């Protein structure tokens, strides 16, 4: 591969004597990895079910290397059931720097397709709030399907520009992640075509855009809150220089040092870099804290719009049939669609919100057609009827292909699970399960 000379010169500024070593690694396969989703499983349960021995990643406690030639990762039933997210190992390093505690309100400002949001939701364990924003609308819909697959119930997905969030949600979040759009130099080994798109002018444009997104992120943070800025590029103009500019333009922010790390140190105590030399494709992350002296307008709590009486009783009936232990969430009724609202929710108006909480279903004539998300989003033990399949059960491929299957004794709406992870649902009667696996997800 021929790398632009300007890029190599820039690389020399950050890698010094290691530049040659880095370039020599271009002949080797790119690193690949998964992050295990604790909303659905644990590494102890999941890893023995995979067709290889996964090796622990030094960058994330639930991150593992997978073989570079494993073709089936995205089609594997345990992936479809949200047991893991395919995530390059260095990309998993940033979310861990947020120091997530249960109950935190976390904003992921540039979130699609949702790798880091999935990690954050896994660390929150169903508590607090994860708000994932993606400015590009069709990328935001990918984010929603990943939310459903991973079983995120305490989340909000929006599609708006960061300045909107800053205006309406000032001081609201405990933690904010900006995984910024960047020149993508860390993607060159994985995606050689990206090299052709590289230019100095693009690096400069990315750096400017990152600074403006970061200034919005600072506004969204409460006092004492943590901000993490990450990119998948090596450029010091986008990375270190953006960190320095941000600190000089936002005096309410201070660096928050990163002490223990398997990554490469940088010239800044609050920033790390990962290159293929350390065992990842390429990531930069910096961490900040908002000083304890800021004063904010308070953010209004979100308004719930309860369903009318007849819809409420249909919903109670449905939830009573689906769950043995129904989640204690308020019902929110928006344009024929019924949601279980997140426990924590600010006012959503004007923020391009596409999903808030779990879609229960849609009202069709005088009934509620249940949604796939309703069966993906809560622990399996909470459901009434379960058709449990193992990886070697022939009904599993039938179900994933959209076919009717045998289901034994269960009756009515039934959760289908694989190795204990929820995968979808169907409607059982007379020993047969009518398939409700979404058409867009079925095996072709």
If binding is defined by CB under 6 A, does position 175 make contact with ligand SAM? no
The verdict on whether 160 is a catalytic residue reads no
Binding status of residue 107 toward ligand SAM by CB under 6 A: no
Shortest Å, Cβ 52 to ligand SAM: 24
Contact segment (CB under 6 A) with ligand SAM among 20-28, 112-120, 152-160, 406-414 equals 112-120
Question: What are the φ and ψ backbone dihedral angles of 155, each rounded to 5 degrees?
Answer: -130, 165
Stretch that binds ligand SAM, among 43-51, 133-141, 299-307, 374-382 (CB under 6 A): 133-141
For ligand SAM, the binding residues in 343-402 under the rule CB under 6 A are none
Q: How many helices (H) and strands (E) does the chain have?
A: 14, 23
Return the number of other C-beta atoms located less than 10 Å from residue 181's C-beta.
17
- Nearest approach, Cβ of residue 203 and ligand SAM (Å): 15
Single residue of 83, 115, 128, 151 touching ligand SAM by CB under 6 A: 115
Q: Are the C-beta atoms of residues 121 and 257 closer than 8 Å to each other? A: no
Q: Contact between 110 and ligand SAM (CB under 6 A)?
A: yes
Residue placing its CB nearer to ligand SAM in the complex, 209 or 264: 209
Give the nearest distance from C-beta 443 to ligand SAM in angstroms.
25
Residue with tokens 């910096």, as numbered in its chain: 286
| SS3 call for 141 | helix
Q: Does 282 bind ligand SAM (CB under 6 A)?
A: no
Residue 384: burial class (beta carbons within 10 Å; 0-12, 13-18, 19+)? middle
Report the DSSP beta bridge partners of residue 221.
173
Q: 376 CB contacts (<8 Å, ≥6 apart)?
A: 82, 148, 149, 151, 422, 423, 424
CB burial of residue 223 (10 Å; 0-12, 13-18, 19+): middle
Residue 134 binds ligand SAM (CB under 6 A): yes
From candidates 100, 111, 227, 416, binder to ligand SAM by CB under 6 A: 111
Q: Is 181 near ligand SAM (CB under 6 A)?
A: yes
Among 114, 155, 282, 357, binds ligand SAM (CB under 6 A): 114
CB of 390 to ligand SAM, least distance (A): 31
Does residue number 149 form part of the binding site for ligand SAM (CB under 6 A)? Answer: no
Angle 92-95-96 from CA coordinates, rounded to 5°: 90
Distance CA 327, CA 43 (A): 25
- List phi, psi (to 5°) of 268: -110, 135
Q: 66 or 415: whose CB is closer to ligand SAM?
A: 66
Kindly name the residue from 160, 220, 232, 407 that is annotated as catalytic: 232
Q: Which residue numbers are catalytic? A: 232
Interface with ligand SAM by CB under 6 A: which residues? 110-116, 134-136, 139, 162, 179, 181, 209, 213
């Amino acid at each position: 591969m021929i790398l632009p000379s300007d890029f190599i010169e820039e690389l020399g500024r950050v890698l010094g004597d290691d530049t040659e070593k880095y370039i020599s690694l271009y002949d080797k396969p790119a690193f690949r990895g998964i992050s295990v989703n604790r909303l659905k499983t644990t590494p102890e349960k999941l890893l023995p079910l995979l067709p290889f021995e996964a090796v622990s990643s030094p960058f994330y406690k639930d991150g593992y290397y997978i073989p570079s030639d494993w073709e089936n990762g995205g089609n594997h039933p345990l992936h479809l059931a949200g047991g893991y997210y395919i995530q390059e190992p260095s990309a998993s390093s940033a979310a861990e720097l947020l120091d997530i505690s249960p109950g935190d309100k976390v904003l992921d400002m540039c979130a699609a397709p949702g790798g880091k949001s999935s990690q954050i939701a896994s660390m929150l364990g169903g508590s607090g709030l994860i708000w994932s924003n993606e400015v590009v609308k069709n990328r935001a819909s990918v984010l929603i399907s990943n939310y459903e697959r991973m079983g995120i119930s305490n989340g909000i997905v929006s599609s708006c520009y960061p300045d909107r969030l800053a205006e309406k949600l000032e001081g609201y979040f405990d933690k904010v992640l900006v995984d910024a759009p960047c020149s993508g130099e860390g993607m060159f080994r994985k995606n050689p075509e990206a090299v052709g798109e590289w230019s100095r002018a693009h690096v400069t444009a990315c750096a400017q855009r990152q600074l403006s997104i970061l200034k919005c992120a600072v506004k969204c943070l409460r006092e004492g809150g943590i901000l993490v800025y990450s990119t998948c590029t090596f450029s010091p103009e986008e990375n270190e220089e953006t960190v320095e500019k941000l600190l000089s333009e936002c005096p309410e922010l201070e660096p928050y040092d990163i002490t223990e790390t398997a990554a490469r140190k940088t010239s800044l105590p609050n920033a790390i870099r990962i290159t293929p030399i350390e065992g990842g494709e390429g990531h930069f992350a910096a961490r900040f804290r908002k000083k304890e002296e800021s004063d904010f307008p308070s953010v209004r709590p979100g308004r719930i719009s309860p369903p009318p009486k007849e819809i409420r009783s249909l919903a109670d009936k449905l939830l009573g049939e689906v769950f043995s232990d129904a989640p204690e969430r308020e019902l929110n009724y928006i344009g024929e669609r019924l949601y279980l609202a997140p426990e924590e929710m600010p006012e959503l108006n004007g923020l391009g919100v596409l999903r808030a909480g779990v879609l229960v279903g849609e009202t069709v004539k005088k009934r509620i057609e249940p949604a796939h998300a309703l069966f993906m989003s809560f622990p399996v033990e909470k459901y009434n009827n379960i058709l449990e399949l193992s990886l070697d059960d022939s009904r599993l491929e039938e179900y994933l292909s959209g076919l009717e299957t045998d289901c034994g004794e269960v009756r009515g709406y039934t959760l289908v699970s694989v190795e204990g992870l929820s995968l979808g649902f169907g409607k059982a009667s007379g020993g047969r399960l009518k398939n409700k696996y979404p058409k867009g997800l079925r095996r072709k």
